[in-house]
């Protein structure tokens, strides 16, 4: 079977053809996969508030289902404040926790935007989470000319790209918020 590749340009085109509602759903699915890393980091380092990020995700799921009240924009700043500083922590989970907090904060930019860029940013953060983790756990040489291929071929990166493609395919048809929420419950970027 051919290896999957993260094609940012193709993803941007695909996202630009989707409704804001479908882009938000895709972004939420990516964020759901990143949240367990934030929770693990918070437990390990006694830093952050994973329940705030969880509540924010729940508010966006509710908005997606009811399409009535957009979560308060003050929540964006709060999510950004919960992002750990990579200079202050040496944990392998620091960057994934940072990516998770930034991704959840970026959800506020997805709602009401005609641009696919905020959703694309969240998908890239999910990819970056796996990228950095794979480099660390495999002790990859950052100067290797084959570094990008090694990362792209790694089983964790293949799983993330496959998951994103599967989510996009699902969102291209008929779907319900309940279906997506149950789909997200058994899916995460398992870095711990």
pLDDT of residue 68: 72
Find the domain containing 101 and state its range.
8-185
d(CA 20, CA 15): 9
pLDDT of residue 100: 96
- In a domain, residue 171? The reply is yes
pTM of the full structure: 0.92
- In a domain, residue 50? The reply is yes
- In a domain, residue 108? The reply is yes
d(CA 177, CA 180): 5
* Number of structural domains in the chain: 1
- In a domain, residue 192? The reply is no
d(CA 162, CA 139): 24
pLDDT of residue 190: 56
pLDDT, tens digit, for every residue of 137-169? 899 998 999 999 999 999 999 999 999 999 999
- In a domain, residue 53? The reply is yes
pLDDT of residue 38: 96
pLDDT of residue 16: 96
3-state helix, strand, coil split of the chain in percent (to 5) is 70, 0, 30
**DSSP string over 135-192:** HHHTT--TT-TTHHHHHHHSHHHHHHHHHHHHHHHHHTS---HHHHHHHHHT------
DSSP 8-state secondary structure symbol assigned to residue 85: P
- In a domain, residue 191? The reply is no
> Domain containing 174 — which CATH number?
1.20.1590.10
Walking along the chain (192 residues) 10 residues at a time, the average pLDDT comes out as 83 95 96 95 95 94 84 84 94 94 96 93 96 91 91 92 94 92 70 52
d(CA 121, CA 129): 12
């Amino acid at each position: 079977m051919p290896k999957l590749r993260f094609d940012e340009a193709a993803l941007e085109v695909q996202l630009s053809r989707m409704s804001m509602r479908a882009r938000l759903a895709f972004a939420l699915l990516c964020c759901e996969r990143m949240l367990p890393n934030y929770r693990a980091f918070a437990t390990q380092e006694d830093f952050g508030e994973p329940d705030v990020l969880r509540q924010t995700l729940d508010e966006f799921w509710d908005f997606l289902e009811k399409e009535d009240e957009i979560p308060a924009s003050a929540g964006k700043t709060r999510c950004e404040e919960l992002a750990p500083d990579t200079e202050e922590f040496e944990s392998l989970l620091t960057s994934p926790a940072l990516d998770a907090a930034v991704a959840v904060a970026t959800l506020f930019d997805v709602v009401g935007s005609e641009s696919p860029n905020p959703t694309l940013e969240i998908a890239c953060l999910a990819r970056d989470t796996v990228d950095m983790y794979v480099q660390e756990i495999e002790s990859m040489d950052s100067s290797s000319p084959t570094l990008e291929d090694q990362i792209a071929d790694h089983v964790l990166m293949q799983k993330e790209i496959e998951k994103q493609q599967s989510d996009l395919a699902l969102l291209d048809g008929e779907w319900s918020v309940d279906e997506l929420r149950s789909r997200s419950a058994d899916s995460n970027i398992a870095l711990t």
